[in-house]
Structure 1
Amino acid sequence: MGGNNAVLGRNTENAPQFDSSSQTVAFSHYNNFSAQLPIDPKTGKLVEGGVKEQAEQCFKNIKAIVESIDHVMSDVIRISIFVTDIEDINAVNEVYKSYFPIYVPTLTTVAVDALPMDAMVQVDAQISCGEGTIPNEPQAGDLIKLVNHTDNAPSFPLATQVVAFSHYTNVTTQLPVCPKTGRILSDDVKAQAAQCLKNIKAILESVDVPLDDIVKITVFLKDLNDIDAVNEVYTTFFPDSAIARAVGYFPARTVVEAKALPLQALVSMEAVVSYGDGTPPQAIEDRHGLILEANNTDKAPKCPVSTQSVAFSHYNHISAQLPVDASTGEVVSGGVKEQAAQCLQNIKEIIENVDHVMEDVVKVNVYLKNIGDIDALEEAYKEFFAEGTPARRIVGVANLPKDALVQIDAIVGNAEGTPPIV
Structure 2
Amino acid sequence: MTSDIIKASRNTDNAPKSALSTQTVAFSHYNNISAQLPIDPKTGNMVAGGVKEQTEQCLKNIKAIVESIDHVMDDVVKMTIFVKDISDLAAINEVYKTFFQSYLPTRTTVAVAALPMQGALLQIEALISNGEGTTPQAACPLIKNARNTENAPQCAISTQTVAFSHYNNLSAQLPVDPKTGKMVTGGVKEQTEQCLNNMKAILESIDHVMNDVVKTTIFLKNIADIDVVNEVFAKFFPSYVPTRTTISASALPMDALIAIDTVVAHGDGTAPQLPEDSRLLIIEASNTENAPKMDYSHTVAFSHYNNVSGQLPVDPKTNAMVAGGIKEQVTQCLNNIKAIIESVDHVMDDIVKVNIQVKNIEDMDALNEVYTTFFKGDLPARTVVAVSAIPMNALVQLDAVVSNCEGTPPQA
Is the contact made by 2:81 and 2:124 (CA closer than 8 Å) also made in structure 1?
A: yes
How far apart are residue 102 of structure 1 and its match?
Answer: 3.3
- Residue 95 of structure 2 is matched in structure 1 by 95
> 1:292 aligned to 2:296?
no
Structure 1, unaligned stretches of length 5 or more? 240-244
How far apart are residue 353 of structure 1 and its match?
Answer: 0.1
- Residue 408 of structure 1 is matched in structure 2 by 398
> 1:226 aligned to 2:228?
no
Is the contact made by 1:20 and 1:388 (CA closer than 8 Å) also made in structure 2?
A: no
SS at match of 1:35: strand
Identity %: 59
> 1:334 aligned to 2:333?
no
Q: Could you tell me how far apart the structure 2 residues matched to 1:3 and 1:21 are?
A: 22
Amino acid at match of 2:303: S
Matches within 5 A, 1:383-422: 383-420=373-410
- Residue 356 of structure 1 is matched in structure 2 by 346
> 1:13 aligned to 2:4?
no
Write out per-residue CA displacement over residues 305-350 of structure 1, whole angstroms, 9 at most, x where no aligned residue: x100000000000000000000011111111111111100000000
SS at match of 1:116: coil
Structure 2, unaligned stretches of length 5 or more? none
Is the contact made by 1:35 and 1:123 (CA closer than 8 Å) also made in structure 2?
A: yes
- Residue 245 of structure 2 is matched in structure 1 by 254
- Residue 126 of structure 2 is matched in structure 1 by 125
Is the contact made by 1:82 and 1:121 (CA closer than 8 Å) also made in structure 2?
A: yes
Amino acid at match of 2:125: D
Amino acid at match of 1:260: A
Write out per-residue CA displacement over residues 72-122 of structure 1, whole angstroms, 9 at most, x where no aligned residue: 000000000000110111111111111124300000000000001121100
Q: Could you tell me how far apart the structure 1 residues matched to 2:279 and 2:123 are?
A: 37
Write out per-residue CA displacement over residues 365-396 of structure 1, whole angstroms, 9 at most, x where no aligned residue: 00000011110010110110244420000000
Q: Could you tell me how far apart the structure 2 residues matched to 1:238 and 1:343 are?
A: 26
Amino acid at match of 2:338: K
Matches within 5 A, 1:193-272: 193-239=192-238, 245=239, 249-272=240-263
Q: Could you tell me how far apart the structure 1 residues matched to 2:268 and 2:227 are?
A: 35
SS at match of 1:60: helix
Q: Could you tell me how far apart the structure 2 residues matched to 1:3 and 1:288 are?
A: 27
Is the contact made by 1:277 and 1:288 (CA closer than 8 Å) also made in structure 2?
A: no
How far apart are residue 2 of structure 1 and its match?
Answer: 8.2
How far apart are residue 139 of structure 1 and its match?
Answer: 3.6
- Residue 171 of structure 1 is matched in structure 2 by 170
SS at match of 1:227: helix
Q: Could you tell me how far apart the structure 2 residues matched to 1:214 and 1:320 are?
A: 16
> 1:148 aligned to 2:156?
no
Matches within 5 A, 1:8-157: 8-118=8-118, 119-135=120-136, 137-140=137-140, 142-157=141-156
Alignment size in residue pairs: 410
- The 10-residue stretch of structure 1 (284-293 or 88-97) with the greater mean CA deviation from structure 2: 284-293
Task: Supply the RMSD in Å over aligned alpha carbons.
Answer: 1.5
SS at match of 2:183: coil
SS at match of 2:176: coil
Q: Could you tell me how far apart the structure 2 residues matched to 1:144 and 1:102 are?
A: 14
Is the contact made by 2:349 and 2:378 (CA closer than 8 Å) also made in structure 1?
A: no
Is the contact made by 2:267 and 2:276 (CA closer than 8 Å) also made in structure 1?
A: no
Alpha carbons of structure 1 residues 284 and 276: separation in structure 2 relative to 1, 3 Å: closer
> 1:371 aligned to 2:370?
no
Q: Could you tell me how far apart the structure 2 residues matched to 1:382 and 1:329 are?
A: 26
Q: Could you tell me how far apart the structure 1 residues matched to 2:158 and 2:8 are?
A: 29
Q: Could you tell me how far apart the structure 1 residues matched to 2:398 and 2:2 are?
A: 31
Q: Could you tell me how far apart the structure 2 residues matched to 1:331 and 1:29 are?
A: 37
Q: Could you tell me how far apart the structure 2 residues matched to 1:302 and 1:347 are?
A: 13
Alpha carbons of structure 1 residues 403 and 285: separation in structure 2 relative to 1, 3 Å: closer
Is the contact made by 1:382 and 1:388 (CA closer than 8 Å) also made in structure 2?
A: no
SS at match of 2:55: helix
Q: Could you tell me how far apart the structure 2 residues matched to 1:85 and 1:186 are?
A: 25
Is the contact made by 2:268 and 2:276 (CA closer than 8 Å) also made in structure 1?
A: no
TM-score, normalized by length of structure 1? 0.95
- Residue 347 of structure 1 is matched in structure 2 by 337
Alpha carbons of structure 1 residues 117 and 3: separation in structure 2 relative to 1, 3 Å: closer
How far apart are residue 5 of structure 1 and its match?
Answer: 1.6
- The 10-residue stretch of structure 1 (106-115 or 2-11) with the greater mean CA deviation from structure 2: 2-11
Amino acid at match of 1:401: P
Q: Could you tell me how far apart the structure 1 residues matched to 2:132 and 2:76 are?
A: 15
Q: Could you tell me how far apart the structure 2 residues matched to 1:50 and 1:163 are?
A: 31
Alpha carbons of structure 1 residues 26 and 219: separation in structure 2 relative to 1, 3 Å: same
- Residue 242 of structure 1 is matched in structure 2 by none
Amino acid at match of 1:115: L
Amino acid at match of 2:91: A
